[in-house]
Chain A
Amino acid sequence: MSVFVVVEQSNSGVHRMSWEALAGGQALGRDLSLPVSVVLMGENVSALAESFQSKDVKEILKVETPLLSNYSADGFSSALAQVIETESPKYVIMGHTYMVRDFLPRVSAKLGLPFLADNIAYGVEDGSLVLSKQLFSGKLVADVSPNGDGPCIISFQSAAFQEEDVTDGSGASVRDISISLDENTIRSRPEEPFQEAAGAVDLSSAEVIVSVGRGIGKEENLPMVKDLVQAMGAELASSRPVVDAGWLESYHQVGSSGQTVAPKLYFALGISGAIQHVVGMKGSKNIIAINKDPEAPLFELADYGVVGDLLEIVPKLTETLQG
Chain B
Amino acid sequence: MKICVLVKQVPGSDSPLKISDDQSWINEENVNFITNESDNYAVEEALQLKEKLGEGEVVAVSLGPERTQRTIREALSKGADRGIHIEESYPYASDPLQIARTFASVLEGEQFDLILSGLQSDDFGFGQVGVILGEMLGMSTSTLVMETELADGKMKVKRELEAGWFQWVNLDLPASISIQSGINTPRYPSLKGIMGAKKKELNKVSVDSNNEPRQSISKVYIPKKTKRTEMIVGTVDYQVERLVEVFKKDLRIL
A residues with a Cβ closer than 8 A to B are 73-74, 77, 97-98, 101-102, 105-106, 108-110, 112-118, 130, 133-148, 187-196, 207-208, 232-233, 240-241, 243-244, 246, 250, 256-260, 264-265, 272, 286, 288, 295, 297, 299-308, 312-313, 316-317, 320-321
Contacts and interface: CB of A to CB of B under 8 A. Distances in A.
B217 A300 contact: no
B237 interface: yes
B229 A299 contact: yes
Contacts of A105: 96, 126-128, 131-132, 135
A143 B143 contact: no
Contacts of A191: 167-170
B31 to A, nearest CB: 11
Q: Give the one of A73, A188, A240, A305 with max B CB within 10 A.
A: A188
A187 B214 contact: no
Interface stretch (B1-9, B51-59, B64-72, B157-165): B157-165
A38 B8 CA distance: 37
Nearest to B241: A320
A317 B243 contact: yes
Given A193-B165, A196-B164, A304-B230, 9 more contacts: A109-B100, A139-B17, A139-B223, A140-B26, A140-B221, A142-B217, A246-B185, A258-B163, A305-B230
B225 interface: yes
B216 A144 contact: yes
B141 A244 contact: no
B195 interface: no
Contacts, number: 239
B141 A188 contact: yes
B236 A148 contact: no
A101 B141 contact: no
Nearest to A244: B182
B90 interface: no
Contacts of A112: 97, 214
15 contacts: A73-B131, A114-B95, A115-B128, A139-B222, A141-B222, A143-B221, A190-B169, A191-B170, A195-B165, A257-B160, A259-B164, A272-B13, A304-B232, A306-B231, A316-B240
Contacts of A240: 181-182
Contacts of A139: 17, 222-223
Interface in B235-251: 236-237, 239-241, 243-244, 246-247, 250-251
Interface residues of B, number: 79
A144 B141 CA distance: 27
B167 A192 contact: yes
Nearest to B215: A114
Contact of A189 (B97, B169, B237, B243): B169
Secondary structure dominating the interface of B: mixed
B125 interface: yes
Contacts of B254: 232-233, 321
B46 interface: no
Q: What 10 pairs across the A-B complex have the smallest Cβ distances? A: A244-B182, A114-B214, A187-B140, A109-B135, A105-B131, A187-B172, A105-B128, A109-B132, A191-B168, A106-B135
Contact of A317 (B123, B125, B240): B240
Interface string B203-225: 00000000011111111111101
Given A144-B217, A313-B240, A136 B11 contact: yes
Contacts of A250: 164
B142 interface: yes
A193 B167 contact: yes
Contacts of B123: 135-136
Interface in B130-161: 131-132, 134-136, 140-144, 159-161
A303 B227 CA distance: 8
A97 B142 CA distance: 14
A243 B223 contact: no
Contact of A188 (B19, B171, B232): B171
Contacts of B135: 77, 105-106, 109-110
B213 A147 contact: yes
A309 B223 CA distance: 24
B227 A135 contact: no
Contacts of A114: 95, 97, 214-215
B103 to A, nearest CB: 12
A260 B163 contact: yes
A316 B128 contact: no
